[in-house]
Amino acid sequence: MAFPATFTFLICCIYVPCVLSIAKPNFVIMLMDDMGWGDLGVYGHPAKETPHLDNMAQEGMLMPDFYSANPLCSPSRAALMSGRLPIRNGFYTTNAHARNAYTPQIIAGGIPDSEILLPELLQKAGYRNKIIGKWHLGQQEKYHPLKHGFDEWFGAPNCHFGPYDNKKTPNIPVYKNYNMTGRLYEDFKIKRDGESNLTQLYITEATEFITKQAKSEQPFFLYWAVDATHGPIYASKKFLGTSRRGLYGDAVRELDSGVGIILDTLKRLGLDSNTLVFFSSDNGAATYSKQHGGSNGPFLCGKETTFEGGMREPSIAWWPGKIQAGTVNHQLGSLMDLYTTFVSLAGLSVPQDRVVDGIDLSQSLFQQTLIDRPIFYYRGNELMAVRHGSFKAHLWTWANSHAEYRNGKGVDFCPGQEIENMTVHDQEDHTAKPLLFNLDSDPGERWAIGHNSANYKTVMPVIQDLVDKHHAEMVRGEPQLNYCDNSLMNWSPPGCAALGRCLKAPKSNLHKCTWPH
Ligand SMILES: [Ca+2]
């Protein structure tokens, strides 16, 4: 007997995935740079200057227990893109123990070809991928985003430090896809008072891309990697002087307005019901900037450290109709999870030939089922701490060196915060008897649980098993951040000849990079 077409379709839907009947969802990652957990109104900042983010949380899900994979830009972003801890993907150094390393423009390494990045997988599923803003996975051409799965790029390969003299150090190029379109400070101004229209350009690039994709009906992945809250902090003229918090607050307000504009664009084009937007930050606020930087709320220290202030991120998930509005989800999450979750929602599987640290958060986002999993906190080549459930165990503690701290007169990663055995200036090894904290009752990591308490004796063996298993199964990637070379800086980026903007590179001086903390 012949089944009616609709009945056959239904049977197909039950037994095989309805690939053709369901449009693939779009993905947007809004990744802030050095923005802290406590910078958003909805996360408790008293300035209450983030109405669009607060509204995004109202329409979506607040995720207060969400982490970056590292307390520094480059390793955090490499983990986000690869779904794997920096210790696996190579974004660490072995030049010294437990040192934070990144990709300044003298770095010789970058994201290895062997890593399969999120956009590479999404490209296979028919997506068009765009990165706007900071890449930070290597400035050499072979490491560029368009060599690793992105179709479009507007932004810079490195941090926006400068201005440089183009003799000892070149100004950082800004790319439009494969080729440079100018340089920071020369063609894309960042003035001494912090005025720059870069965030406005990044907002326009985003809305134009989304509008183009809406017309084409091709699914897209937008990685909005804006960097106005990373030093040197900047904001456009319209926002300068408008915050109660000073220049940092001006930058936050402008980014917040950008979030509103992008979400409105999605709504206006009818894409909101089919787009998962995730807002977060690459690492904690730079507490060493004191009143000139961001806020990590109740958490200890900030950027560069594996205390909560270094890695817990202000995170919001948004997908109207799919993620229940106005919810708070205490799932322990990681930016690496976006890799696995997006790949799964796109109908693909993560690579099976390697360990992927990110987990599929779909059931947590859509059904609010908590998934049991640990969070590993690395600093360089060392596993510093592990969180499981409410508890966090510190295996190693360190703020920064005495040489850098200079008795409080130098660089201070924990200003105004001093916790015994924690915010120390010699690296302390606690692996034999880890320091244990309950982050639900003690989010500031101030009161260690007694080694002889019943709580310690119950919790610590569970975490120790996780640590032992993690170490036993670990396959470390070849470290990418050991060597530096001045000849590898952005002297002659692709496209410089057409603009008449190539600079003369010095002789190669390959040497071990120095990572002070
Ligand atoms: Ca950062």
Sign for the CA dihedral angle at 87, 90, 91, 95 comes to positive
Q: Which CATH superfamily is domain 24-373 in?
A: Alkaline Phosphatase, subunit A (3.40.720.10)
User: Which pLDDT value is given to residue 22?
Assistant: 67
In angstroms, what is the span from residue 14 Cα to ligand 1's centroid?
Answer: 45
Looking at residue 219, its amino acid is P
**Distance, CA 33 to ligand 1 centroid (Å)?**
4
pLDDT of residue 18: 43
> 289 CA distance to ligand 1 centroid (A)?
13
Distance 173 CA to ligand 1 centre (A): 19
Let me know: does 411 contact 517? Beta carbons within 8 Å: yes
28 alpha carbon – ligand 1 mean position (Å): 19
Interval between CA 233 and ligand 1 midpoint (Å): 12
Give the per-residue SS3 of 132-148.
EECCCCCCCHHHCHHHC
CA of 34 to the centre of ligand 1 (A): 4
Say if residues 414 and 300 touch (Cβ distance below 8 Å): yes
Element (H, E) at 52: helix 51-59
Task: Tell me the C-alpha distance between 88 and 181, whole Å.
Answer: 34
Query: Is CATH 3.40.50.1370 what the domain over 382-473 is classified as, yes or no?
Result: no
Q: Give the distance from CA 44 to its chain's centroid.
A: 21
Q: What spacing in Å lies between the alpha carbon of 81 and ligand 1's midpoint?
A: 15
pLDDT by residue, tens only, the chain of 517 residues: 344 444 444 444 444 444 444 689 999 999 999 999 999 999 999 999 999 999 999 999 999 999 999 999 999 999 999 999 999 999 999 999 999 999 999 999 999 999 999 999 999 999 999 999 999 999 999 999 999 999 999 999 999 999 999 999 999 999 999 999 999 999 999 999 999 999 999 999 999 999 999 999 999 999 999 999 999 999 999 999 999 999 999 999 999 999 999 999 999 999 999 999 999 999 999 999 999 999 999 999 999 999 999 999 999 999 999 999 999 999 999 999 999 999 999 999 999 999 999 999 999 999 999 999 999 999 999 999 999 999 999 999 999 999 999 999 999 999 999 999 999 999 999 999 999 999 999 999 999 999 999 999 999 999 999 999 999 999 999 999 999 999 999 999 999 999 999 999 999 999 999 999 9
Q: How far apart are the CA of 230 and the centre of ligand 1, in A?
A: 6
* Residue 13 C-beta-side C-alpha neighbours within 13 Å: 9
Look at residue 10 in the predicted model and tell me its pLDDT.
Answer: 46
The confidence score (pLDDT) of residue 2 equals 42
Q: Would you list the domain boundaries of the chain? A: 24-373, 382-473
Distance 280 CA to ligand 1 centre (A): 11
CA atoms within 13 A on the CB side of 120: 14
Let me know: does 102 contact 75? Beta carbons within 8 Å: yes
* Same fold? 24-373, 382-473: no
Rounded Cα distance, 18 and 28, in Å: 24
Q: How far is the CA of 506 from the centre of ligand 1 (A)?
A: 29
What pLDDT was estimated at residue 304? 98
Which residues belong to the active site? 73, 136
Report the separation in Å between the CA atom of 248 and the middle of ligand 1, taken as the mean of its atom positions: 14
Question: In the block, which residue shows the tokens 């000073």?
Answer: 246
Q: Quick check: 277 and 8 in contact, CB under 8 A?
A: no
